[in-house]
Structure 1
Amino acid sequence: MQITFIGGGNMAAAIIGGLVREGGHQIRVIERTEARCAQLRSEYGVEASTAQPEAFGPDEVVVLAVKPQQLKEVCVELAPRLQGALTVSIAAGVRVAALSRWLGSERIVRVMPNTPAMVGKGISGVYAPPGVSVADAASAADVMRAVGEVVALAEEGGIDDITCVSGSGPAYVFYFMEAMIAAAKQAGFDPMTARKLVVGTFEGAVALAAATDTEVGTLRANVTSKGGTTERAIARFDAEGVREAIVAGAMDCRDRSMEMGETLSRD
Protein backbone atom coordinates (compact mmCIF):
# COMPACT_ATOMS: atom_id res chain seq x y z
CA MET A 1 0.00 0.00 0.00
CA GLN A 2 1.26 3.51 -0.83
CA ILE A 3 0.49 5.81 2.10
CA THR A 4 1.20 9.50 2.55
CA PHE A 5 0.83 11.17 5.95
CA ILE A 6 0.03 14.85 6.04
CA GLY A 7 1.51 15.71 9.40
CA GLY A 8 4.12 13.79 11.34
CA GLY A 9 3.12 14.24 14.98
CA ASN A 10 2.94 11.61 17.70
CA MET A 11 -0.13 9.76 16.45
CA ALA A 12 1.09 9.77 12.86
CA ALA A 13 4.47 8.47 14.06
CA ALA A 14 2.77 5.69 16.01
CA ILE A 15 0.88 4.53 12.91
CA ILE A 16 3.97 4.89 10.72
CA GLY A 17 5.94 2.75 13.17
CA GLY A 18 3.29 0.03 13.05
CA LEU A 19 3.17 0.07 9.26
CA VAL A 20 6.98 -0.09 9.03
CA ARG A 21 7.05 -3.09 11.38
CA GLU A 22 4.31 -4.73 9.32
CA GLY A 23 6.28 -4.17 6.12
CA GLY A 24 5.22 -4.08 2.50
CA HIS A 25 4.20 -0.40 2.38
CA GLN A 26 5.56 2.67 0.63
CA ILE A 27 5.34 5.48 3.17
CA ARG A 28 6.06 9.16 2.90
CA VAL A 29 5.36 12.05 5.24
CA ILE A 30 4.66 15.71 4.52
CA GLU A 31 5.67 17.69 7.59
CA ARG A 32 6.08 21.45 8.05
CA THR A 33 9.48 21.40 9.78
CA GLU A 34 12.69 19.97 8.37
CA ALA A 35 13.86 18.97 11.84
CA ARG A 36 10.84 16.70 12.29
CA CYS A 37 11.31 15.32 8.76
CA ALA A 38 14.89 14.41 9.63
CA GLN A 39 13.74 12.72 12.82
CA LEU A 40 11.13 10.64 10.96
CA ARG A 41 13.62 9.63 8.29
CA SER A 42 16.14 8.59 10.92
CA GLU A 43 13.72 6.71 13.17
CA TYR A 44 11.52 4.96 10.60
CA GLY A 45 13.45 5.06 7.34
CA VAL A 46 10.56 6.72 5.51
CA GLU A 47 10.56 9.48 2.93
CA ALA A 48 9.78 12.82 4.57
CA SER A 49 9.57 16.28 3.07
CA THR A 50 8.29 19.77 3.81
CA ALA A 51 7.01 20.10 0.22
CA GLN A 52 3.66 18.88 -1.05
CA PRO A 53 3.82 16.49 -4.04
CA GLU A 54 2.49 17.75 -7.34
CA ALA A 55 -0.16 15.03 -7.34
CA PHE A 56 -1.25 11.90 -5.53
CA GLY A 57 -2.05 8.63 -7.28
CA PRO A 58 -5.61 7.23 -7.33
CA ASP A 59 -4.39 4.10 -5.52
CA GLU A 60 -2.72 6.12 -2.77
CA VAL A 61 -4.00 6.51 0.80
CA VAL A 62 -3.60 10.05 2.15
CA VAL A 63 -3.80 10.22 5.96
CA LEU A 64 -4.73 13.63 7.37
CA ALA A 65 -2.87 13.78 10.68
CA VAL A 66 -2.81 17.49 11.47
CA LYS A 67 -4.58 19.41 14.23
CA PRO A 68 -8.31 19.93 13.57
CA GLN A 69 -7.84 23.70 13.56
CA GLN A 70 -5.37 23.37 10.68
CA LEU A 71 -7.44 20.94 8.65
CA LYS A 72 -9.37 23.33 6.41
CA GLU A 73 -6.21 25.11 5.28
CA VAL A 74 -4.48 21.79 4.62
CA CYS A 75 -7.46 20.37 2.70
CA VAL A 76 -7.74 23.44 0.45
CA GLU A 77 -4.04 23.09 -0.35
CA LEU A 78 -4.44 19.36 -1.05
CA ALA A 79 -7.60 19.56 -3.16
CA PRO A 80 -6.02 20.21 -6.61
CA ARG A 81 -3.37 17.53 -5.95
CA LEU A 82 -5.63 14.79 -4.64
CA GLN A 83 -6.79 13.38 -8.00
CA GLY A 84 -9.09 10.75 -6.55
CA ALA A 85 -6.81 9.39 -3.80
CA LEU A 86 -8.48 7.86 -0.74
CA THR A 87 -8.36 10.29 2.20
CA VAL A 88 -8.33 9.03 5.79
CA SER A 89 -8.78 11.65 8.49
CA ILE A 90 -7.63 10.96 12.04
CA ALA A 91 -8.36 14.56 13.09
CA ALA A 92 -10.98 14.90 15.79
CA GLY A 93 -14.24 16.71 15.23
CA VAL A 94 -14.27 17.64 11.56
CA ARG A 95 -17.19 16.00 9.78
CA VAL A 96 -17.09 14.14 6.47
CA ALA A 97 -19.34 16.75 4.82
CA ALA A 98 -16.85 19.52 5.61
CA LEU A 99 -13.89 17.43 4.47
CA SER A 100 -15.72 16.68 1.25
CA ARG A 101 -16.39 20.37 0.58
CA TRP A 102 -12.80 21.38 1.25
CA LEU A 103 -11.23 18.50 -0.68
CA GLY A 104 -13.72 18.30 -3.53
CA SER A 105 -13.87 14.54 -2.94
CA GLU A 106 -16.25 11.98 -1.49
CA ARG A 107 -13.62 9.28 -1.11
CA ILE A 108 -13.16 9.95 2.60
CA VAL A 109 -12.98 7.77 5.73
CA ARG A 110 -12.87 9.08 9.31
CA VAL A 111 -10.93 7.35 12.07
CA MET A 112 -10.79 7.90 15.83
CA PRO A 113 -7.56 6.29 17.15
CA ASN A 114 -6.23 6.36 20.69
CA THR A 115 -2.79 6.82 22.23
CA PRO A 116 -2.05 3.14 23.07
CA ALA A 117 -1.44 2.90 19.32
CA MET A 118 2.02 4.15 20.27
CA VAL A 119 2.78 0.71 21.72
CA GLY A 120 0.74 -1.29 19.21
CA LYS A 121 -2.22 -1.64 21.60
CA GLY A 122 -4.58 0.90 20.09
CA ILE A 123 -8.23 0.51 19.27
CA SER A 124 -9.70 2.68 16.53
CA GLY A 125 -13.21 3.49 15.38
CA VAL A 126 -13.56 3.66 11.60
CA TYR A 127 -16.47 5.34 9.81
CA ALA A 128 -16.84 4.98 6.05
CA PRO A 129 -19.80 6.92 4.54
CA PRO A 130 -22.28 5.01 2.34
CA GLY A 131 -20.64 6.25 -0.88
CA VAL A 132 -17.24 4.81 0.04
CA SER A 133 -16.44 1.41 -1.45
CA VAL A 134 -15.93 -1.70 0.63
CA ALA A 135 -12.34 -1.83 -0.63
CA ASP A 136 -11.63 1.74 0.52
CA ALA A 137 -13.14 1.09 3.94
CA ALA A 138 -10.99 -2.03 4.21
CA SER A 139 -7.86 -0.07 3.23
CA ALA A 140 -8.48 2.50 5.97
CA ALA A 141 -9.07 -0.28 8.51
CA ASP A 142 -5.89 -2.05 7.39
CA VAL A 143 -3.85 1.09 8.06
CA MET A 144 -5.15 1.22 11.63
CA ARG A 145 -4.76 -2.53 12.26
CA ALA A 146 -1.02 -1.94 12.07
CA VAL A 147 -1.30 -0.42 15.57
CA GLY A 148 -4.14 -2.38 17.17
CA GLU A 149 -7.76 -3.37 16.83
CA VAL A 150 -10.46 -1.76 14.71
CA VAL A 151 -14.18 -1.27 15.28
CA ALA A 152 -16.40 -0.40 12.29
CA LEU A 153 -18.92 2.39 12.98
CA ALA A 154 -22.28 2.37 11.18
CA GLU A 155 -22.96 6.10 11.64
CA GLU A 156 -20.69 9.14 11.75
CA GLY A 157 -22.07 9.98 15.19
CA GLY A 158 -20.30 6.83 16.32
CA ILE A 159 -17.06 8.85 16.16
CA ASP A 160 -18.38 11.05 19.00
CA ASP A 161 -19.55 7.95 20.87
CA ILE A 162 -16.22 6.17 20.61
CA THR A 163 -14.32 9.34 21.49
CA CYS A 164 -15.85 9.31 24.98
CA VAL A 165 -14.93 5.66 25.53
CA SER A 166 -11.70 4.63 23.81
CA GLY A 167 -10.56 7.92 22.29
CA SER A 168 -10.36 9.77 25.61
CA GLY A 169 -10.51 6.61 27.71
CA PRO A 170 -6.74 6.25 28.27
CA ALA A 171 -6.84 9.58 30.14
CA TYR A 172 -9.52 8.18 32.48
CA VAL A 173 -7.35 5.14 33.15
CA PHE A 174 -4.28 7.29 33.81
CA TYR A 175 -6.38 9.48 36.13
CA PHE A 176 -7.37 6.44 38.18
CA MET A 177 -3.77 5.23 38.14
CA GLU A 178 -2.65 8.63 39.48
CA ALA A 179 -5.06 8.23 42.39
CA MET A 180 -3.87 4.70 43.13
CA ILE A 181 -0.22 5.80 43.03
CA ALA A 182 -1.10 8.58 45.48
CA ALA A 183 -2.73 5.98 47.74
CA ALA A 184 0.35 3.74 47.52
CA LYS A 185 2.58 6.65 48.51
CA GLN A 186 0.27 7.51 51.41
CA ALA A 187 0.50 3.88 52.51
CA GLY A 188 4.27 4.32 52.72
CA PHE A 189 5.74 3.12 49.40
CA ASP A 190 8.42 5.11 47.61
CA PRO A 191 7.39 6.64 44.23
CA MET A 192 9.14 4.00 42.10
CA THR A 193 7.60 1.09 43.99
CA ALA A 194 4.18 2.80 44.04
CA ARG A 195 4.26 3.14 40.26
CA LYS A 196 5.43 -0.45 39.79
CA LEU A 197 2.62 -1.76 41.99
CA VAL A 198 -0.07 0.23 40.20
CA VAL A 199 1.11 -0.40 36.64
CA GLY A 200 1.51 -4.11 37.40
CA THR A 201 -1.97 -4.23 38.90
CA PHE A 202 -3.52 -2.65 35.80
CA GLU A 203 -1.55 -4.90 33.44
CA GLY A 204 -2.66 -7.99 35.35
CA ALA A 205 -6.30 -6.93 35.64
CA VAL A 206 -6.53 -6.11 31.94
CA ALA A 207 -4.86 -9.41 30.99
CA LEU A 208 -7.34 -11.28 33.19
CA ALA A 209 -10.32 -9.47 31.65
CA ALA A 210 -9.00 -10.13 28.15
CA ALA A 211 -8.43 -13.83 28.86
CA THR A 212 -12.05 -14.57 29.79
CA ASP A 213 -15.61 -13.82 28.68
CA THR A 214 -16.62 -13.28 32.30
CA GLU A 215 -18.32 -9.90 32.85
CA VAL A 216 -15.98 -7.37 34.42
CA GLY A 217 -18.55 -6.81 37.16
CA THR A 218 -18.24 -10.48 38.07
CA LEU A 219 -14.46 -10.27 38.04
CA ARG A 220 -14.73 -7.31 40.40
CA ALA A 221 -17.14 -9.22 42.66
CA ASN A 222 -14.75 -12.19 42.74
CA VAL A 223 -12.19 -9.97 44.47
CA THR A 224 -14.74 -8.44 46.83
CA SER A 225 -15.24 -10.79 49.76
CA LYS A 226 -18.19 -9.94 51.98
CA GLY A 227 -17.04 -7.98 55.00
CA GLY A 228 -13.49 -7.81 53.66
CA THR A 229 -10.99 -5.14 52.76
CA THR A 230 -11.96 -4.71 49.09
CA GLU A 231 -15.65 -4.37 50.00
CA ARG A 232 -14.74 -1.48 52.30
CA ALA A 233 -12.97 0.34 49.45
CA ILE A 234 -15.79 -0.27 46.95
CA ALA A 235 -18.32 0.94 49.52
CA ARG A 236 -16.45 4.25 49.75
CA PHE A 237 -16.31 4.54 45.95
CA ASP A 238 -20.06 3.93 45.76
CA ALA A 239 -20.79 6.40 48.55
CA GLU A 240 -18.73 9.06 46.78
CA GLY A 241 -20.47 8.39 43.46
CA VAL A 242 -17.30 7.40 41.63
CA ARG A 243 -19.08 5.16 39.10
CA GLU A 244 -21.70 7.82 38.33
CA ALA A 245 -19.03 10.50 37.97
CA ILE A 246 -17.10 8.40 35.45
CA VAL A 247 -20.20 7.79 33.33
CA ALA A 248 -21.24 11.46 33.53
CA GLY A 249 -17.73 12.59 32.63
CA ALA A 250 -17.68 10.31 29.59
CA MET A 251 -21.01 11.75 28.45
CA ASP A 252 -19.62 15.28 28.92
CA CYS A 253 -16.71 14.21 26.72
CA ARG A 254 -19.16 13.01 24.07
CA ASP A 255 -21.08 16.29 24.20
CA ARG A 256 -17.86 18.24 23.76
CA SER A 257 -16.89 16.09 20.79
CA MET A 258 -20.21 16.93 19.16
CA GLU A 259 -19.78 20.66 19.92
CA MET A 260 -16.29 20.66 18.44
CA GLY A 261 -17.58 18.87 15.37
CA GLU A 262 -20.16 21.59 14.76
CA THR A 263 -17.63 24.38 15.25
CA LEU A 264 -14.72 22.90 13.29
CA SER A 265 -16.88 21.82 10.35
CA ARG A 266 -18.10 25.31 9.49
CA ASP A 267 -16.89 26.95 6.32
Structure 2
Amino acid sequence: MDLSTPEAAAAHFAQRPDAELLYLARAGSGYPPAVVAAAVAELQRRQLLPEVAAPPSPTPPPAEAPAETWLQTLGQLARGLFWPTRQYWAVPLLIDLNLLVWLAMTLSGVSATAPTGHELVRWGSNVSSLTLHGQPWRLVTSLFVHGGITHLLLNMASLWLLGLLLEARTGGGRLLAAYLASGVGGCLATLWYHAGGINSTGASGAIFGLYGLMLALLLSRQIVLDKYDRRAMLGLVGYLILSNLLSGITGNIDNSAHLGGLAVGLLLAGPAVMASLRRAA
Protein backbone atom coordinates (compact mmCIF):
# COMPACT_ATOMS: atom_id res chain seq x y z
CA MET A 1 0.00 0.00 0.00
CA ASP A 2 1.14 3.51 -0.85
CA LEU A 3 1.45 5.71 2.25
CA SER A 4 4.21 7.92 0.94
CA THR A 5 2.11 11.10 1.18
CA PRO A 6 -0.88 12.12 3.34
CA GLU A 7 -3.02 12.19 0.20
CA ALA A 8 -2.05 8.67 -0.78
CA ALA A 9 -2.67 7.39 2.76
CA ALA A 10 -6.10 9.03 2.83
CA ALA A 11 -7.01 7.51 -0.54
CA HIS A 12 -5.90 4.05 0.61
CA PHE A 13 -7.81 4.05 3.91
CA ALA A 14 -10.91 5.47 2.26
CA GLN A 15 -11.32 2.03 0.67
CA ARG A 16 -10.79 0.01 3.86
CA PRO A 17 -13.67 -1.40 5.94
CA ASP A 18 -14.67 0.10 9.27
CA ALA A 19 -13.49 -2.90 11.28
CA GLU A 20 -9.95 -2.67 9.90
CA LEU A 21 -9.75 1.03 10.60
CA LEU A 22 -11.01 0.58 14.16
CA TYR A 23 -8.46 -2.16 14.76
CA LEU A 24 -5.62 0.09 13.56
CA ALA A 25 -6.84 2.95 15.76
CA ARG A 26 -6.97 0.71 18.87
CA ALA A 27 -3.74 -1.22 18.26
CA GLY A 28 -1.82 1.82 17.17
CA SER A 29 1.34 1.04 19.10
CA GLY A 30 2.19 -1.81 16.75
CA TYR A 31 2.03 0.26 13.54
CA PRO A 32 3.84 3.30 12.18
CA PRO A 33 2.38 6.59 13.45
CA ALA A 34 1.50 7.68 9.92
CA VAL A 35 -0.64 4.55 9.43
CA VAL A 36 -2.49 5.08 12.71
CA ALA A 37 -3.04 8.78 12.01
CA ALA A 38 -4.46 8.07 8.57
CA ALA A 39 -6.80 5.40 9.97
CA VAL A 40 -8.02 7.73 12.71
CA ALA A 41 -8.57 10.54 10.21
CA GLU A 42 -10.70 8.27 8.02
CA LEU A 43 -12.76 7.12 11.02
CA GLN A 44 -13.39 10.70 11.96
CA ARG A 45 -14.43 11.52 8.40
CA ARG A 46 -16.94 8.67 8.60
CA GLN A 47 -18.10 10.08 11.96
CA LEU A 48 -17.22 6.83 13.71
CA LEU A 49 -14.71 8.51 16.00
CA PRO A 50 -15.25 11.90 17.65
CA GLU A 51 -12.93 14.76 16.87
CA VAL A 52 -10.24 15.02 19.49
CA ALA A 53 -10.06 18.54 20.79
CA ALA A 54 -6.65 20.03 21.27
CA PRO A 55 -5.72 20.12 24.93
CA PRO A 56 -6.29 23.56 26.40
CA SER A 57 -3.20 25.59 26.90
CA PRO A 58 -2.37 25.95 30.57
CA THR A 59 -3.58 29.17 32.10
CA PRO A 60 -0.60 31.24 33.09
CA PRO A 61 -0.49 32.19 36.75
CA PRO A 62 -1.79 35.68 37.44
CA ALA A 63 0.94 38.21 37.28
CA GLU A 64 1.65 40.18 40.38
CA ALA A 65 0.12 43.61 40.32
CA PRO A 66 2.78 46.17 39.48
CA ALA A 67 3.69 48.75 42.02
CA GLU A 68 1.97 51.40 39.89
CA THR A 69 -1.40 49.67 40.41
CA TRP A 70 -1.07 49.82 44.20
CA LEU A 71 -0.01 53.43 44.00
CA GLN A 72 -3.02 54.23 41.84
CA THR A 73 -5.33 52.50 44.33
CA LEU A 74 -3.82 54.43 47.22
CA GLY A 75 -4.13 57.63 45.22
CA GLN A 76 -7.83 57.00 44.55
CA LEU A 77 -8.42 56.26 48.24
CA ALA A 78 -6.62 59.44 49.26
CA ARG A 79 -8.66 61.50 46.80
CA GLY A 80 -11.87 60.01 48.17
CA LEU A 81 -10.82 60.82 51.72
CA PHE A 82 -9.38 64.28 51.30
CA TRP A 83 -10.45 65.77 47.96
CA PRO A 84 -13.96 67.31 47.83
CA THR A 85 -16.12 66.73 44.76
CA ARG A 86 -19.46 68.17 43.71
CA GLN A 87 -21.41 65.20 45.10
CA TYR A 88 -19.18 64.49 48.12
CA TRP A 89 -17.57 67.56 49.62
CA ALA A 90 -18.67 68.13 53.24
CA VAL A 91 -16.98 65.10 54.82
CA PRO A 92 -13.61 65.54 52.99
CA LEU A 93 -13.71 69.22 53.99
CA LEU A 94 -14.27 68.36 57.65
CA ILE A 95 -11.56 65.68 57.63
CA ASP A 96 -9.11 68.10 56.03
CA LEU A 97 -9.84 70.82 58.59
CA ASN A 98 -9.34 68.45 61.50
CA LEU A 99 -6.07 67.14 60.08
CA LEU A 100 -4.79 70.63 59.28
CA VAL A 101 -5.45 71.81 62.84
CA TRP A 102 -3.61 68.80 64.27
CA LEU A 103 -0.73 69.35 61.82
CA ALA A 104 -0.50 73.05 62.69
CA MET A 105 -0.47 72.19 66.40
CA THR A 106 2.28 69.63 65.90
CA LEU A 107 4.43 71.96 63.78
CA SER A 108 4.10 74.64 66.45
CA GLY A 109 5.67 72.30 68.99
CA VAL A 110 2.60 70.67 70.56
CA SER A 111 3.00 66.95 71.24
CA ALA A 112 1.52 64.86 68.41
CA THR A 113 0.31 62.18 70.82
CA ALA A 114 -0.26 63.79 74.23
CA PRO A 115 -0.73 67.57 74.23
CA THR A 116 -0.99 69.25 77.62
CA GLY A 117 -4.17 70.87 78.88
CA HIS A 118 -2.56 74.31 78.59
CA GLU A 119 -1.67 73.67 74.94
CA LEU A 120 -5.22 72.56 74.17
CA VAL A 121 -6.59 75.72 75.75
CA ARG A 122 -4.31 77.86 73.56
CA TRP A 123 -5.65 76.13 70.45
CA GLY A 124 -9.34 76.59 71.30
CA SER A 125 -10.57 73.78 73.53
CA ASN A 126 -13.91 74.02 75.34
CA VAL A 127 -13.06 75.40 78.81
CA SER A 128 -15.81 76.30 81.27
CA SER A 129 -14.05 79.36 82.65
CA LEU A 130 -13.47 80.77 79.16
CA THR A 131 -16.29 79.54 76.91
CA LEU A 132 -19.00 80.82 79.26
CA HIS A 133 -17.15 84.05 79.98
CA GLY A 134 -16.62 85.87 76.72
CA GLN A 135 -15.21 83.21 74.37
CA PRO A 136 -18.23 81.32 72.95
CA TRP A 137 -16.30 80.65 69.72
CA ARG A 138 -14.69 77.76 71.62
CA LEU A 139 -17.94 75.84 71.11
CA VAL A 140 -16.87 75.53 67.46
CA THR A 141 -13.05 75.55 67.59
CA SER A 142 -12.99 72.74 70.15
CA LEU A 143 -14.61 70.46 67.56
CA PHE A 144 -11.40 70.60 65.50
CA VAL A 145 -8.89 70.24 68.35
CA HIS A 146 -7.93 66.72 69.45
CA GLY A 147 -5.92 65.28 72.30
CA GLY A 148 -3.40 63.48 70.12
CA ILE A 149 -3.18 61.52 66.89
CA THR A 150 -5.07 58.47 68.24
CA HIS A 151 -8.03 60.59 69.31
CA LEU A 152 -8.01 62.31 65.91
CA LEU A 153 -7.80 59.14 63.82
CA LEU A 154 -10.59 57.38 65.72
CA ASN A 155 -12.92 60.32 65.20
CA MET A 156 -11.97 60.77 61.54
CA ALA A 157 -12.54 57.07 60.82
CA SER A 158 -16.04 57.35 62.28
CA LEU A 159 -16.69 60.55 60.35
CA TRP A 160 -15.56 58.97 57.09
CA LEU A 161 -17.75 55.89 57.60
CA LEU A 162 -20.78 58.06 58.41
CA GLY A 163 -20.03 60.32 55.47
CA LEU A 164 -20.05 57.43 53.01
CA LEU A 165 -23.45 56.35 54.34
CA LEU A 166 -25.05 59.74 54.88
CA GLU A 167 -23.82 62.56 52.67
CA ALA A 168 -25.09 61.14 49.39
CA ARG A 169 -28.55 60.84 50.98
CA THR A 170 -28.77 64.15 52.83
CA GLY A 171 -26.57 66.46 50.79
CA GLY A 172 -23.37 68.13 51.89
CA GLY A 173 -24.97 71.30 53.21
CA ARG A 174 -27.40 69.46 55.47
CA LEU A 175 -24.67 67.16 56.76
CA LEU A 176 -22.33 70.06 57.50
CA ALA A 177 -25.05 71.98 59.33
CA ALA A 178 -25.98 68.88 61.37
CA TYR A 179 -22.32 68.27 62.22
CA LEU A 180 -21.68 71.79 63.51
CA ALA A 181 -25.02 72.09 65.35
CA SER A 182 -24.56 68.71 67.01
CA GLY A 183 -21.00 69.57 67.97
CA VAL A 184 -22.10 72.83 69.60
CA GLY A 185 -24.93 70.97 71.35
CA GLY A 186 -22.48 68.39 72.66
CA CYS A 187 -20.17 71.13 73.97
CA LEU A 188 -23.06 72.85 75.76
CA ALA A 189 -24.12 69.54 77.30
CA THR A 190 -20.55 69.07 78.54
CA LEU A 191 -20.48 72.50 80.15
CA TRP A 192 -23.86 71.87 81.81
CA TYR A 193 -22.96 68.41 83.11
CA HIS A 194 -19.49 69.33 84.36
CA ALA A 195 -20.57 72.36 86.36
CA GLY A 196 -17.35 72.25 88.35
CA GLY A 197 -15.25 72.92 85.25
CA ILE A 198 -14.07 71.04 82.17
CA ASN A 199 -11.46 71.28 79.43
CA SER A 200 -12.76 69.21 76.51
CA THR A 201 -11.84 68.70 72.87
CA GLY A 202 -12.81 66.57 69.91
CA ALA A 203 -15.43 65.92 67.28
CA SER A 204 -17.25 63.06 69.01
CA GLY A 205 -20.32 65.14 69.91
CA ALA A 206 -20.67 66.22 66.28
CA ILE A 207 -20.22 62.64 65.11
CA PHE A 208 -22.89 61.43 67.53
CA GLY A 209 -25.18 64.03 66.01
CA LEU A 210 -24.68 62.35 62.64
CA TYR A 211 -25.48 59.01 64.27
CA GLY A 212 -28.72 60.52 65.54
CA LEU A 213 -29.56 61.95 62.12
CA MET A 214 -28.89 58.62 60.45
CA LEU A 215 -30.92 56.73 63.04
CA ALA A 216 -33.93 59.03 62.68
CA LEU A 217 -33.84 58.92 58.87
CA LEU A 218 -33.66 55.13 58.90
CA LEU A 219 -36.54 54.75 61.35
CA SER A 220 -38.71 57.20 59.40
CA ARG A 221 -37.82 55.50 56.10
CA GLN A 222 -36.48 58.72 54.65
CA ILE A 223 -33.55 56.65 53.43
CA VAL A 224 -34.93 54.17 50.90
CA LEU A 225 -33.61 50.66 51.55
CA ASP A 226 -35.09 47.18 51.44
CA LYS A 227 -35.97 45.71 54.82
CA TYR A 228 -32.82 43.59 55.10
CA ASP A 229 -30.47 46.47 54.32
CA ARG A 230 -32.46 48.70 56.69
CA ARG A 231 -32.11 46.18 59.52
CA ALA A 232 -28.40 45.82 58.84
CA MET A 233 -27.92 49.60 58.83
CA LEU A 234 -29.92 50.05 62.02
CA GLY A 235 -27.89 47.31 63.67
CA LEU A 236 -24.63 48.96 62.63
CA VAL A 237 -25.65 52.42 63.86
CA GLY A 238 -27.01 51.00 67.11
CA TYR A 239 -23.81 49.04 67.70
CA LEU A 240 -21.63 52.10 67.10
CA ILE A 241 -23.70 54.24 69.47
CA LEU A 242 -23.76 51.66 72.27
CA SER A 243 -20.09 50.67 71.93
CA ASN A 244 -18.98 54.30 72.13
CA LEU A 245 -21.21 55.00 75.12
CA LEU A 246 -19.86 51.94 76.92
CA SER A 247 -16.32 53.09 76.17
CA GLY A 248 -17.24 56.42 77.74
CA ILE A 249 -18.27 54.69 80.95
CA THR A 250 -15.00 52.81 81.33
CA GLY A 251 -12.55 55.30 79.80
CA ASN A 252 -11.60 58.95 79.86
CA ILE A 253 -14.37 59.90 77.42
CA ASP A 254 -17.09 62.51 77.87
CA ASN A 255 -20.46 60.81 77.38
CA SER A 256 -22.29 64.06 78.07
CA ALA A 257 -20.97 65.41 74.75
CA HIS A 258 -22.00 62.16 73.05
CA LEU A 259 -25.55 62.30 74.39
CA GLY A 260 -25.89 66.02 73.73
CA GLY A 261 -24.78 65.61 70.13
CA LEU A 262 -27.03 62.58 69.66
CA ALA A 263 -30.05 64.52 70.94
CA VAL A 264 -29.38 67.42 68.57
CA GLY A 265 -29.03 65.04 65.61
CA LEU A 266 -32.36 63.42 66.44
CA LEU A 267 -34.01 66.83 66.78
CA LEU A 268 -32.63 68.01 63.43
CA ALA A 269 -34.24 65.01 61.77
CA GLY A 270 -37.57 65.79 63.48
CA PRO A 271 -39.21 67.69 60.58
CA ALA A 272 -38.42 64.87 58.15
CA VAL A 273 -39.73 62.29 60.63
CA MET A 274 -42.96 64.23 61.20
CA ALA A 275 -43.52 64.63 57.45
CA SER A 276 -43.04 60.92 57.00
CA LEU A 277 -45.53 60.13 59.76
CA ARG A 278 -48.12 62.48 58.25
CA ARG A 279 -47.77 60.79 54.87
CA ALA A 280 -48.13 57.36 56.48
CA ALA A 281 -51.29 58.47 58.25
Identify whether the pair has TM-score above 0.5, normalized to the shorter chain.
no
Which is richer in strand? 1
Structure 1 or 2, whichever has the larger Rg, is: 2
TM bracket (short chain): under 0.3
TM-score relative to the length of structure 1: 0.25
Which is richer in helix? 2
